[in-house]
Amino acid sequence: MQLQPQVFINFRGEEIRYGFISHLVAAFELHGIYFFIDKYEQKGKDLTHLFKRIQESKIALAIFSRKYAQSKWCLNELAKMKKVAEKNKLEIIPIFYKVKASDVRHQEGEFGHNFWELARTSSGEEIKQWKEALEFVSNKMGLTLCENRYST
């Protein structure tokens, strides 16, 4: 029997997989939190499989980084997360990793530049769904992680 994921992690891999994500995954494993991360999926699976994982989850972490908006995959997952959350079946927590929430919300700064580059090769309907999802999620209470760390 396969366990249902409690947390779906949505992020752009190349930028943060071996830093922030590896620490997050280690903490989840230490505390027995079952999570889903695409690293464990077979290559070549389509988004339908990932959408199913989103629907099975209770919580989704949308981890926005500078290169996040270069990925149609990430943005399509985010749009699906929004749809499930609107039915009150998923709680989304945004994490702004070295990006400003306002840059995500308004597609500005380096995040915005990457978004609009991708948009040039995307359909109007995709862009509309992505923008709505970015605004929906970035307006939620979340976490901001910067270069510096608080010390106690």
Phi, psi (degrees; rounded to nearest 5) at 20: -55, -50
Check the CA dihedral 88-122-96-9 and report its sign.
positive
The residues annotated as belonging to the active site are 77
pTM confidence score: 0.88
User: Per residue of the chain (152 residues), what is the pLDDT tens digit?
Assistant: 456 668 999 999 877 888 889 999 999 999 999 998 876 555 556 778 889 999 999 999 999 999 999 999 999 999 999 999 999 999 999 999 999 999 999 999 999 999 999 999 999 999 999 999 999 999 998 988 876 554 44
Cβ count within 10 A of residue 109: 15
